[in-house]
Amino acid sequence: MSSNGSFRSVHLVFLVGVFAFLVQLPMRGWITLGVIAGIVGVIAFSIRAIRAEEHRRTMRAVQVEQIFIGRAAEAAAAEEKARTVRQQHIETLGVENAALIDSALSALEQLSASEAARTGWLGDIDFAPDIRGITDNFEKAHALRKVANTLSALDKPSDDDRRILAEAKNAIANLERTASERVGSIVKCATEARLIDKTLSDKRKDAKTAEQRAELHAKLSGMLYAIEAAPNTTATDSAIDAVIMRANAFREIMRPN
């Protein structure tokens, strides 16, 4: 007989033996086996549930990590872009003029986010032409200054050098003054928007206070009216007066002659 056939025979004998054992079991034994089978089933189900929950937690952790990595990458890209734009501004406008442009853009962000702008109190808030004009003036002034500095660095300056350098200096001053005034105007617009926001906020606060005051007045008036209209609850035969009188009488009796 082959080994495979021997294995089948042993397996068959084992199954027959188990079946015979189960048939001979009393009712209590069947109940015990059922309880054991139920416990084993509950344990197996719990293990599967725990593993499934661990898998879900792992997947959620992976998703959160991917989202965090994506946001970090976006923030890094935005920061790098801002740094590049900042460097370009410095190269084309100069350090001080680039700082003024930044202040103008920051003021515009504040203005656009204000309630005054969102609710239409400021009308059209498209400052793109202003920013372009300011940038153009600063660029021209910076370009003039670079060329003028190169010219002034030459040896043996001539009268023509001094004349044209003076003209360039005046042009630079006029361009930068005009642009700086426009930047100041934009910053002032942002300040005005903040003041309008404060006024609107104060108005809402005052209106809420007035509403609360009216509610409290009405409530107090109702309470006072109820108290005035209610009958006198002071007992006419109160024990207070009687006890005080008896205490006074007791002291009078016990007072030595």
Last residue of a domain, one of 93, 114, 134: 93
pLDDT at 1 over 60: no
Regarding whether 102 and 86 lie in a shared domain, the answer is no
Regarding whether 179 and 141 lie in a shared domain, the answer is yes
Q: In the prediction, which pLDDT does 130 show? A: 93
Residue 235 falls inside a structural domain: no
pLDDT digits (tens, 9 = 90+) for 160-190: 999 999 999 999 999 999 999 999 999 999 9
Q: In the prediction, which pLDDT does 92 show? A: 81
In the predicted model, what is the mean pLDDT of residues 40-47? 78
Residue 236 falls inside a structural domain: no
Domain count of the chain?
2
pLDDT digits (tens, 9 = 90+) for 91-116: 888 889 999 999 999 999 999 999 99
Residue 148 falls inside a structural domain: yes
Regarding whether 75 and 156 lie in a shared domain, the answer is no
Regarding whether 207 and 98 lie in a shared domain, the answer is yes
SS3 of the chain: CCHHHHHHHHHHHHHHHHHHHHHHCCHHHHHHHHHHHHHHHHHHHHHHHHHHHHHHHHHHHHHHHHHHHHHHHHHHHHHHHHHHHHHHHHHHHCHHHHHHHHHHHHHHHHHHHCHHHHCCCCCCCCCHHHHHHHHHHHHHHHHHHHHHHHHHCCCCCCHHHHHHHHHHHHHHHHHHHHHHHHHHHHHHHHHHHHHHHHHHHHHHHHHHHHHHHHHHHHHHHHHHHHHHHCCCCCCCCCHHHHHHHHHHHHHHHHCCC
More confident residue, 103 or 44: 103
Regarding whether 108 and 77 lie in a shared domain, the answer is no
Single pTM value for the model: 0.57
Q: In the prediction, which pLDDT does 76 show? A: 73
Domain range for 202 is 94-223
- The band of 225, judged by pLDDT with boundaries at 50, 70 and 90, is confident
Average pLDDT, the chain: 82
Q: In the prediction, which pLDDT does 194 show? A: 94
Residue 57 falls inside a structural domain: yes
Q: In the prediction, which pLDDT does 86 show? A: 73
pLDDT at 245 over 60: yes
pLDDT at 70 over 80: no
